[in-house]
Structure 1
Amino acid sequence: MIMNVTDANKYLYHYTPAAKAIEYILKSRTLRLSPYTCTNDPKERKGWLFDFGTNEGRDLGRYNQDEYSGWLSGEFKSKTLMTCLTRDSGPLTGNHLFDIFKRGFCKPRMWAQYADNHKGVCLVFDREQLQQRIDAQVAPKFPVMSGPVDYVDRGIVRNISEDQQYTINVDVLETEGKEAYLLRHLHTHYKRLFFEKMTDWKDESEWRWVTFSESAEPIDVKFGSALVGLVFGDDISPEHRKQIFALNSNKGMYHEGLKWKNCSPWYDWSWKQKLG
């Protein structure tokens, strides 16, 4: 998990408060796909405004923008679930002395923002194993999309010929109906709609899984052996650490800690151990 890691695509990381890890994630051994609108990004929380387009000269004046935007945005956002993790930033040399600044578990701002200001933990998942678990448990019911988030700043003025993700094609809508149009628009534009954020977020190096469900009800995925390790925050309490060790006993997981010395993060080797 630390030493001799050269594959920047092998692991994914999930920052969380210690209490949440203990009460929900580690006790149930599940990772939750939550409603898309529960994020802290306005692009994802707020409704989208769509315009209309036609290649067949249809009357666009008969379409109410607020009504159809509310319908399409509402359908997407009320039924989309996702889970977000962080990647390593390659290339990795395999030398932990130099690679520490590129590792997904060593992002001070994310420890502060998502892991209770360094009092939480960072869960370490094997990406391929987690993909297999999600595919097995979710994909038979709902479409699953996964991949890295692209970070792009896009102005308010769109290039209509290229930027179609916020345009409703009324030719297809009238021919196929609303239900079929939803899925067609989703499959055509899911990368721009669900896998793109402003460059201000780029240091999160996000990887996400997204599924288009039947409702906003979360889906809990049993991750099994896909959880390969856990990193303790610098200020985690001894009690939380003790509880986590107990929950992970005999699970074959590595446990590490981070601490800060002057301006530099480093590994707290005093807590290094593999349980089970």
Structure 2
Amino acid sequence: MFKKDRVCHYTSMKSAIFILNDKQINFTPLVSTKDPRESKQWNFGFIGNGQRICLENYEEALNDFDNSIKNNSMILSFCGWNNEKINFENNAIPPYRQDYYRVGWARSRMWSQYGEKHTGVCLVFDRKKLEEQFKSTFKTDKKFTGRVEYQYHLESFVIARKIECRNIIEHGVDKALEMQIDKYFHEYFFLKLMDYRDEHEYRLVVIVDDGDSIRLPIESSLKGVIVGIDFPSEEYGRIDALAQNCNSAVERYFLSWQEGRPQLWGLL
């Protein structure tokens, strides 16, 4: 549970039961995220030669780009390893406790926000195996993986909303959209405001047609199932059985908090 290549997905008890029973995890469209920078309208504009032609003949493309990117970009989010510099000595944190401040599953605020106020579940994955499954499941070239970058001022996102007129005039709207995503996928999917930096987010992204729902098999990549401190104790046996049925080698834990410090315990 303390390896650097582990990534974690927080969810509710109900969703965790569905995921483990189905042995697959759902992607969600970008428009459904809780970040207003991603879910609210993006105001695209034209640049370069041919702006008059684009405004007269392709003005609807401005909204088409916005709607297509946000509704057809399917996202799967995880909390990753905290690789920031931490002054453990000044905080009097002994060496055997230090990794608790780096792993993705020991984040109290994440449990509060995404783990249903500590009543939910954190699913722990091997990132490399997750990526292997991701690549083999989705054959399209329009897929991306990586950690999210955090900035105070998203200047490059402003530039990413400028559409080269020659791309639309020469190649048409659909091809121009593909070119736009290829060039600015980092700004669209892997760039967030600094307020979110403590999430240390890692993402899988797939571009689909017409908002198609997609799932990723998890049997080979699932390494741990951790229930929150307020997870219903009468459901321990059920979640334990589902976890083992999904992957017999998966580790199962209960996460307690003692004076604000996280501590793992065997689930049963």
- TM-score, length-normalised on structure 2? 0.89
Match of 2:55 in 1: 63
Shift, 1:45, TM fit: 1.0
Shift, 1:68, TM fit: 3.0
Match of 2:77 in 1: 84
SS of residue matched to 2:136: helix
RMSD: 2.2
Match of 2:66 in 1: 73
Match of 2:103 in 1: 103
SS of residue matched to 2:244: coil
Question: In structure 2, do the counterparts of structure 1 residues 122 and 59 end up closer, same or farther at CA, with 3 Å as the change threshold?
Answer: closer
Q: Is the 8 A contact 2:134 2:216 kept in 1?
A: yes
Q: Is the 8 A contact 1:35 1:217 kept in 2?
A: no
The gaps in structure 2 that reach 5 residues or longer are: 89-94
Identity %: 26
Match of 2:43 in 1: 49
SS of residue matched to 2:106: coil
Which amino acid letter does the alignment assign opposite residue 13 of structure 1? C
Match of 1:215 in 2: 210
Which amino acid letter does the alignment assign opposite residue 39 of structure 1? T
Determine whether 1:148 maps to 2:143: no
Q: Is the 8 A contact 2:44 2:62 kept in 1?
A: yes
Q: Is the 8 A contact 2:51 2:165 kept in 1?
A: no
Q: How far, CA to CA, are the matches of 1:196 and 1:76 in structure 2?
A: 15
Shift, 1:61, TM fit: 7.1
Match of 2:136 in 1: 136
Q: How far, CA to CA, are the matches of 2:51 and 2:188 in structure 1?
A: 26
Shift, 1:256, TM fit: 1.9
Q: How far, CA to CA, are the matches of 1:70 and 1:213 in structure 2?
A: 18
Question: In structure 2, do the counterparts of structure 1 residues 81 and 99 end up closer, same or farther at CA, with 3 Å as the change threshold?
Answer: same
Question: In structure 2, do the counterparts of structure 1 residues 167 and 59 end up closer, same or farther at CA, with 3 Å as the change threshold?
Answer: closer
Determine whether 1:193 maps to 2:215: no
- TM-score, length-normalised on structure 1? 0.86
- Cα offsets for 1:106-138 (capped at 9, x unmatched): 111110111110011110000000101111111
Q: How far, CA to CA, are the matches of 2:96 and 2:236 in structure 1?
A: 24
Shift, 1:217, TM fit: 2.3
Q: How far, CA to CA, are the matches of 1:199 and 1:75 in structure 2?
A: 26
Q: Is the 8 A contact 1:80 1:210 kept in 2?
A: yes
Shift, 1:43, TM fit: 1.2
How many residues of Structure 1 are paired with residues of Structure 2 in the alignment? 257
Q: Is the 8 A contact 1:18 1:240 kept in 2?
A: no
- Cα offsets for 1:70-109 (capped at 9, x unmatched): 111111112110100010113799x542210111001111
Match of 2:26 among 24, 32, 49: 32
SS of residue matched to 2:239: helix
Match of 1:14 in 2: 9
SS of residue matched to 1:217: coil
Q: How far, CA to CA, are the matches of 1:240 and 1:183 in structure 2?
A: 46
- Cα offsets for 1:157-186 (capped at 9, x unmatched): x58xx9530101001110111111011000
More displaced 10-residue stretch of structure 1: 142-151 or 162-171? 162-171
Q: Is the 8 A contact 1:53 1:60 kept in 2?
A: no
Match of 1:237 in 2: 232
Shift, 1:60, TM fit: 3.2
Q: Is the 8 A contact 1:16 1:122 kept in 2?
A: yes
SS of residue matched to 1:249: helix
Which amino acid letter does the alignment assign opposite residue 75 of structure 1? S
Q: Is the 8 A contact 2:78 2:203 kept in 1?
A: yes
Shift, 1:221, TM fit: 1.0
The gaps in structure 1 that reach 5 residues or longer are: none
Shift, 1:153, TM fit: 2.1
Match of 2:92 in 1: none
Q: How far, CA to CA, are the matches of 1:240 and 1:66 in structure 2?
A: 54
Q: How far, CA to CA, are the matches of 1:204 and 1:19 in structure 2?
A: 22
